[in-house]
Structure 1
Amino acid sequence: MNRVLQLFPIWALAFSAIAYLKPELFTGLKTLIVPLLTVIMLTMGLTLTPSDFLRIKDSKKAVLAGVVLQFTVMPAVAIFVSNVFQLDDTLLIGMVLVGAVAGGTASNVLCYLAKGDVALSITMTAISTLLGVALTPLLIELLVGQIVDIPTSSMVLSLFKIVLLPVAFGIVLNHFFKVTMSKITDVLPIFSMVSIVFIIAIIVALNANKLHSVGIIMLAAVIVHNGSGLLLGYLAGKALGFEPKVCKTIALEVGMQNSGLAVALAMKFFTPAAAIAGTIFSIWHNVSGSILASYWQRQSNSEKQQ
């Protein structure tokens, strides 16, 4: 099971290649993007408990730092990178969407592999996900509202339905049917992985022609965006005096985004081209996060042996 999950970037790249070469296989599935994302958020809820939200009182400073960095660093870097690479308005909107959403659930797995603070990672993801229902539309309005009309209230309502309801439902199920839910916990990441792989493939298919001209530029922009989040998250944690374990956790929480949500918002409120950034980010942040987690894991094991 873990081996299958570790190969997520390979699955994503393989299906992306198929979608790029044979877009007709996936373009008809575009109506599945929101339902698939809902499945991802439900599986996230099924892994959470009320204590994950209450844990904030035990790590107030770290949680606050992670959440503030999440909703400041990534949106700001998105604008900066878009200007540096001179992206057009549609691609800029896509970058801002990626920067303005909450942290991705993959950060929890990679935090475990990196020997970070997993409990803190789960709490940060849960808190940023809930806050994102309101903060994401507000950030998008603030950063790109002058470029395109932002249906802020409609976006909040969509996030309520796509994010808050399935996550809350999953938490309720996990709380009241814990024994039953524990039997399927191990397979939940597979459902999430399959869902995001199909979302990526659908968006690649819908943007096959545009990817030919902007793919390399967008990949470079996404690499800088993601790398900046990871680096600034770690350095900010260090500057605040947190131990390395917490710094790793903050870095992964800040640098890894819920890019599947960014894709869904792009498709619902903007254009398929605005979803390119989220699609590439979905693949790349798992590659960079896995490499970084592997490095930190080896570093931690080496320190224990000394």
Structure 2
Amino acid sequence: MYQKILQKFTSLFPLWAVLLSAVAYVYPEYFAPHQGLIVPFLSLIMLGMGITLSVDSFLAVLKRPSAVILGTLMQYTVMPLAAWIVCLVLKLPPDLAAGVILLGCCPGGTASNVISYLAKADVALSIVLTSVSTLLAFLATPFLTWVLIGQTVEVDVMGMLVSVVKVVIVPVVLGLAINYFFEKKINAVKDVFPAISAAAIVIIIAVIIGTNSANLGKSGPLVLLAVILHNGLGLAGGYGVSKALGFSETEARTIAIEVGMQNSGLSVALAIKHFTAAAALPGAIFSIWHNLSGAFLAGHWSKKSISVPDESKVPSKKGIHSKKLG
């Protein structure tokens, strides 16, 4: 009985996200002071994901590098180009255009791992893609920013890597260890973790909205439209190209989420340091919107089953069931 209740709660988490976001916007004073909860809550979610994964999940990713290569290439082509096109079409002022393009040149964010988990995508692939794009950011982000804006930016790649290790890698590895050594004991409570993750991400979104409520009021429809278009092009491009190239539904979902969800916190920090406060606004709005759009997408995909061959009936065909590139 409790499993059905948990599943129902998790499936409705986009609704909870919207409701609590509305409350946070109207009463930001109740949420803004709790920014310190974001990192611990993300770590808690990653721990839960690690518990539901296995070492075999990551070994399977290494056996299909084409998905990693495609996801990484799209991260640093689709999003920068989409940002540039959106700026041209909407004729954004220079400061706002710089912020949107800088956002498009950033690596994937850790929130994508959470959304992949809730969307029943490939969490191991998502984590690998986030890590790889972060590793490449110290070269890709400054270079692409220079090409599209004409100004270079300095990226604290070591700080980013330390953050990814603390927030993503360590909790996931700990979860993997718990699953490996205590698998039988925790099987009965594994259904709790998606619900915990849903509740945590809803609270994180509310805190972000509460913190940026003033910016939301000042942003105007143009910045919001630019952010929505940019995020939408990333999600649609990631999914469409992956499916067109013959990747599985699970891989396509994962790549779409990874490509469409940027490290908006990095873009805000770089914009303030190298451009203007106005240039940081697109990243701040994006940090809210991509969580909300990701929540809705995860809610939609979590209700759609992914058909795969029954391995128990085909013992000679072990491993991951996905189409390879080429």
**What secondary structure is seen at the aligned counterpart in 1 of 2:210?**
helix
Is 1:192 the counterpart of 2:197 in the alignment? yes
Q: Which amino acid aligns with 1:92?
A: V
Taking structure 1 as reference, are residues 277 and 49 closer, same or farther at Cα in structure 2, changes over 3 Å only? same
Tell me the percent identity.
31
Is 1:101 the counterpart of 2:105 in the alignment? no
Aligned equivalents of 1:190, 1:97: Cα separation in 2 = 33
Aligned counterpart in structure 2 of residue 49 of structure 1, from 50, 54, 60: 54
2:34 maps to which residue? 29
Aligned counterpart in structure 1 of residue 211 of structure 2, from 201, 206, 209: 206
Is 1:169 the counterpart of 2:174 in the alignment? yes
1:10 maps to which residue? 15
Q: Residues 29 and 202 of structure 1 are in contact (CA less than 8 Å); yes or no, is this contact kept in structure 2?
A: yes
1:88 maps to which residue? 96
**What secondary structure is seen at the aligned counterpart in 1 of 2:135?**
helix
**What secondary structure is seen at the aligned counterpart in 2 of 1:100?**
coil
Q: Which amino acid aligns with 2:26?
A: L
Q: Residues 78 and 234 of structure 2 are in contact (CA less than 8 Å); yes or no, is this contact kept in structure 1?
A: yes
Structure-1-length-normalised TM-score? 0.76
Aligned equivalents of 1:218, 1:270: Cα separation in 2 = 15
Q: Residues 203 and 279 of structure 1 are in contact (CA less than 8 Å); yes or no, is this contact kept in structure 2?
A: yes
Is 1:69 the counterpart of 2:77 in the alignment? no
2:286 maps to which residue? 277
Shift of 1:163: 1.6
The aligned runs of 1:121-132 (5 Å cut-off) are: 121-132=122-133
Shift of 1:73: 2.6
User: Which ranges in structure 1 are unaligned for 5 or more consecutive residues?
Assistant: 113-117, 299-306
Is 1:160 the counterpart of 2:168 in the alignment? no
Taking structure 1 as reference, are residues 24 and 6 closer, same or farther at Cα in structure 2, changes over 3 Å only? same
2:324 maps to which residue? none
Q: Which amino acid aligns with 1:252?
A: R
Aligned equivalents of 1:151, 1:59: Cα separation in 2 = 30
Aligned equivalents of 1:170, 1:56: Cα separation in 2 = 18
Q: Residues 133 and 164 of structure 1 are in contact (CA less than 8 Å); yes or no, is this contact kept in structure 2?
A: no
Aligned equivalents of 1:10, 1:97: Cα separation in 2 = 31
The aligned runs of 1:283-302 (5 Å cut-off) are: 283-291=292-300
Taking structure 1 as reference, are residues 79 and 41 closer, same or farther at Cα in structure 2, changes over 3 Å only? farther
Q: Which moved more, 1:182-191 or 1:126-135?
A: 126-135
**What secondary structure is seen at the aligned counterpart in 2 of 1:104?**
helix
Q: Which amino acid aligns with 2:104?
A: V
Q: Residues 262 and 275 of structure 1 are in contact (CA less than 8 Å); yes or no, is this contact kept in structure 2?
A: no
Structure-2-length-normalised TM-score? 0.72
**What secondary structure is seen at the aligned counterpart in 2 of 1:39?**
helix
Taking structure 1 as reference, are residues 44 and 286 closer, same or farther at Cα in structure 2, changes over 3 Å only? same
2:252 maps to which residue? 251
Superposed CA RMSD: 3.6
Bigger radius of gyration among the two = 2
Q: Which amino acid aligns with 2:41?
A: L
Q: Which amino acid aligns with 1:176?
A: F
Aligned equivalents of 1:281, 1:35: Cα separation in 2 = 20
Shift of 1:30: 1.3
Deviations 1:20-71 (A, max 9, x none): 1111101211122211221122222222111011113654444543444345
Deviations 1:136-168 (A, max 9, x none): 555444445846543222222222212221122
The aligned runs of 1:104-143 (5 Å cut-off) are: 104-110=113-119, 112=120, 121-136=122-137, 138-143=139-144
| Count of matched residue positions in the alignment of Structure 1 and Structure 2 | 287
Q: Which amino acid aligns with 2:252?
A: A
Q: Residues 20 and 208 of structure 1 are in contact (CA less than 8 Å); yes or no, is this contact kept in structure 2?
A: yes
Shift of 1:130: 3.5
Taking structure 1 as reference, are residues 30 and 144 closer, same or farther at Cα in structure 2, changes over 3 Å only? farther
